[in-house]
Structure 1
Amino acid sequence: MESKRAFPSQEGTGAFSKDIEKGREAVPFPSTTISSTEASSYAHTQSSIWQKLKQWNARFEAFTGLESRGIARVLPSERQLITASSYLQIALLWISCDLTVNSITLAMLGPLVFELSFKDSALCAVFGVLIGCLGPAYTSTWGPRSGNRTMIVTRYFMGYYPSKICCVLSMVITLGYSTINCIITGQLLSAVQGGGMPLVVGIIIVAVITLIVAVVGMKAFHTYERYAWIPQAIVFFVLVGSAGPQFDTSTPSVGNKTTIIGHRLSYLALCLSSPLAWATCAADFFVYYPPSTPKRGIFLSTYIGNALAFCFAYLLGIGLASGVAQNPAWATAFSSSQGALILAGLSGLRGFGSFCGVILALGVIADQIAATYSSALVLQMLDRRVARVPRWLLTCLIVVIYTACALGGRNYLFDIFQNFLALMGYWVGIFLSIALEEQVLFRAARSKRVLSSEREAGEFDDGYDWDVWNDWRAVPVGLAALTAFLLGWVGAVVCIDQAWYVGPIARMVGRDGADLGLWVGIGFTLLTYPLLRILELRRFGR
């Protein structure tokens, strides 16, 4: 039975919470010379307007039932109870987010762009998923432990101000994926209508539905994700039965041995990047679970849910792409759009196939909601003044931004996939390397020195004091992490292989090069961070 205290949204939880208000900057006065009386009157007017806006927002959120909490920490007393069914809910949430047509479309790049065989593509995709899903499984455990959102926890590794770089990059990831989701949905809906529905209309449809659920907040989000996977799974199996006989599992990969190896590495990194990107927001969805929640349970539920969904969707996308060379009808559909290719796999079902296409298109919304919800929270972390803006209003802004990007880039989906997703995976891998070394090499040692009474009181957790999340003087300075982060990027840049730039090391592999940026970037970071962190601790003591 679910707790009635789930997802509180009452006093002390909003974007206007006391934690945020303490850091509010004073409103600057005009540069002209004014008397003390005028200054006092100006300040009083500003304060009065601010108070009225807060009161109006509180009444609006209470009337509409919107989640009022922003980035303020969820205290242990505000958490919901966790039951055995909660772990199933976590797995289903991730299945709903990942068992979507955008995962199918990404996997198509194996046969269509990297010219890999079905077998090579499938192996790279599955191994990429198994590695990439470790990232969100790890960061998801931060939610119950800390009560803080994912990018807030980065302050304990990167420092208060350097962590804002991660916030900006996280925004880029979520906006990029949201743009892709809108385009794919528009393509599918347009293909269902035989091209009669403009792509623009489909993009707007998914944006509006996403906005409604994301604005309401966490409770609506969890409810939606609990059931969204069901129609998706049914249609996926229908697509397997309809299109499976046309999959080409015998044609070999194209190129000599070194070229194929390079393509395998590049495609592996691409397939890894998509699940890995969830690491930037995985904790956001579980901050209402109690600190006593077993980390192993959260980790396994997240890992299994992500891995099952991504593997199923990737293999289906690889199969569809493999059949393009042998099936003229599929080749014609692909020349129109990736969405049309997916619908071609259902063409044998006639009207029912079109209905399945609509279900697939709307299924992308489950993924879109999660990204949109987290984006608004990340935006609040960039600046204290932005943090005072209500979450629901920032959500509206986020939706407007990625809808505009989708409308502008609707004809360049494959370019966005190939040049954007792998690049974003670099920084997530580099950041996770810093977080793991900080926890294993430094925080774990500190935790052993903390008195058992302090740990039992909940003041510390593995060397972290989660109550100081908004105090820049209580978290690491961040110089070591920032330096290691930048050095990791240096390693990534010299090994990058993208359409717009190929690093000197990357071009040495095969005919077309290989994208080694993720692996080398992680290696540079792992080697440099420990020494830099030791020097930082000796100099600053935190």
Structure 2
Amino acid sequence: MSSTATVSEAARDAPCDLESQGQHASKEQNSLFRGLLSFLAVKDGEVYEAKPDRNPKWYQKLLDAGVEENGIKPVPIEQRTSTQYSNLFTVFFTCLLCLLPIPTGMLATLGMGLSLRDASLIILFFALLTCIPPAFMGIGGMETGLRQLVQARYSFGLYLVTIPLLLNAATLTGFSLLSSVGGGQALSSLSPAKVSVDVGIVIACLVSFAVSLLGFHALHFWERWTWVPNLIAIVITVGCGAVPNVPAWDHTYHATGIGGVMAEMLAPAGGFGRFVLVMLALSVIGNMAISMYSVALNLQMLLPCFARVPRFVFMLVAVAVMVPMAIRAAEAWEESLTNFLAVIGYWAGCFDAVLIVELVVFRRMDYSTFDHGIWNVGRKLPPGIAAMAASLVSLGLVVPGMAAPSYTGPIAKRTGDIGFEVAFVMTALSYLPFRWLEIRWRGRL
């Protein structure tokens, strides 16, 4: 009788026990969810602060090894301790002193029918002109302690800045694809039977990922010194031979791209030429590494909670996207290069104009107006309407002035492609009245 009663009581209490266990599990799940939200939350105006005592041991070991911890949070002035003022020069000089600009320049003669003289003059003077805006805006990082696309929030706003964020990520990804294809082709040319272009692309991407993973200091160290072997390798290659004039090189270019051409040029140098070819293949790492680094930062800015997600997570995403896309682009090398370059640059003219006019005219070169306390506070940042309106207005002349493989505007038929120049000038002129009205409406910057 007593055993029957015990069984009955157990059966009666079982639902209560299950309900209690369910409530306990639910509380644990809610606790984990709240903990995750707490971890991802970024306070208004929160700045970067090193907290080694609060980090897990494995994570702190990575930081001690040189991996950069900060992502997009503002860096207070007391933590801006780098005194390598040449960094701003070497980071651009090294990343461009690689294989990437060579096929870009070759399109002038191979794809556009320009003479060597005309192509050289256009490249030289347009490069001098277009280097001025990024050089000028690059000073803002040191002065404000803000990433450049975080600085853009002070004109485009917290939400509308997403558009240039995505465009910039696409641009950087595109150039990384082209760099990885060039490096992969060069590595494959060393032993085509054993190393395919696809394998070469994967190698270039993985090495670049390793360099960019370490972050700011490692990247600048790499960019500060690797320009030396890059320059030597390019000078030796140029000394060995120009492409359309040599049938074998012309055939190789159409068959295996820029990597194959470099291999043909260096063939007379024998084993030393093969060594130089390896240096040329590795030269793209400086370009790809900073691009991967920047793409990861762009992704961190897309949503407020992403600011707390470790940068290497976004770098893994970037690499996972780049590798298959680069392999696909390598299948139609010249077409991919031409189509990409034809459409990717126009938005930068609008972006540069907005940031420069904002700084020079409305902020009067006063970097202190970039208040760290509002860098992630949408209601206190500008709404970005003036910046987007000025950019959209400029499209009225940009589209007729652009010349792409699929479309040539009526103005471009007479003048050539002037889309970038028109984008810069028209956006700058339009932004002046639009931003003035926006400031009057808001009553503040």
TM-score (norm 2): 0.85
Q: Measure the CA separation in 2 of the matches of 1:479 and 1:92.
A: 36
Alignment of 1:380-391 (within 5 A): 380-391=300-311
| Aligned partners of 1:443 and 1:462 also within 8 Å | no
Structure 2, unaligned runs of 5 or more:
1-21, 42-52
Unaligned regions of 5+ residues in structure 1, if any? 1-34, 244-319, 448-459
Partner Cα separation in structure 2 for residue 47 and residue 151 of structure 1 = 30
1:528 counterpart residue number: 430
Determine the structure 2 residue equivalent to 1:290: none
Contact conserved, 2:140 with 2:367, CA < 8 A, in 1? no
Residue from 19, 27, 30 that aligns with 1:43: 30
Paired residue type of 1:516: I
Aligned to 1:354: 274
Per-residue deviation at 1:194?
4.2
- Say if 1:353 and 1:374 are closer, same or farther in 2 by CA, change over 3 A: same
The answer on whether the counterparts of 2:95 and 2:286 sit within 8 Å (CA) in structure 1 is yes
CA contact (8 A) 1:375 1:398 kept: yes
Determine helix, strand or coil for the equivalent of 1:166. Answer: helix
Does 1:197 pair with 2:195?
yes
Following the alignment from structure 1 to structure 2, what is the Cα–Cα distance between the partners of residues 58 and 52?
A: 14
Amino acid at match of 1:72: K
TM-superposed CA distance for 1:75, in Å, is 0.8
- Pick one of 494, 498, 520 that aligns with 2:404: 498
Query: Which residue of the other structure, out of 368, 392, 415, is the alignment partner of 1:486?
Result: 392
Query: Sequence identity, in percent?
Result: 30
Structure 1 match to 2:12? none
Could you tell me the TM-score, scaled by structure 1's length?
A: 0.71
CA shift for structure 1 position 144: 0.8
- Which whole-Å CA distance do the structure 1 matches of 2:421 and 2:265 have between them? 36
> What is the number of residues matched between the two proteins?
408
* In 2, Cα distance between equivalents of 1:165 and 1:49: 28
> 1:311 — aligned with what?
none
1:286 maps to none
Displacement of 1:462? 5.6
Counterpart of 2:143, as a letter, is R
What is the identity, as a one-letter code, of the residue corresponding to 1:528?
S
Q: Which residue of 1 aligns with 2:171?
A: 173
Note if contact 1:159-1:475 (Cα within 8 Å) is conserved in structure 2: yes
Equivalent runs, 1:216-365 vs 2, <5 Å: 216-243=214-241, 320=242, 323-324=243-244, 326-336=245-255, 337-365=257-285
Deviations 1:424-470 (A, max 9, x none): 221111111112222222211xx7xxxxxxxxxxxx63643243211
Counterpart of 2:60 (choices 62, 85, 109) is: 62
Q: Is the 8 A contact 2:40 2:308 kept in 1?
A: no
Q: C-alpha displacement at 1:223, in angstroms?
A: 1.7
The amino acid that maps onto 2:154 is Y
Structure 1 pair 127/52, CA: closer, same or farther in 2 (3 Å)?
closer
Equivalent pair of 1:185/1:364 in contact (CA under 8 Å): yes
The one-letter code of the counterpart of 1:332 is: H
Alpha-carbon contact 2:108-2:119 (below 8 Å) kept: yes
The answer to which of 354-363 and 473-482 deviates more is 473-482
> What's the secondary structure of 1:141's corresponding residue?
helix
Secondary structure at 2:226 match in 1: helix
Distance 1:469 1:173 in 2: 24
Tell me if the contact between 2:401 and 2:422 (Cα under 8 Å) persists in the aligned partners: yes
Q: CA RMSD in A?
A: 2.5
Q: Which amino acid aligns with 1:382?
A: L
Structure 1 residue 59: Cα displacement: 3.4
Tell me which amino acid in the other structure corresponds to 2:219: F
1:125 and 2:123 aligned: yes
How far apart in 1 are the matches of 2:114 and 2:400?
Answer: 25
Q: Whose relative contact order is higher, 1 or 2, with alpha carbons under 8 Å and at least 6 apart?
A: 1
For residue 396 of structure 1, what is the aligned residue in structure 2? 316
Q: Distance in 1 between matches of 2:26 and 2:87?
A: 55
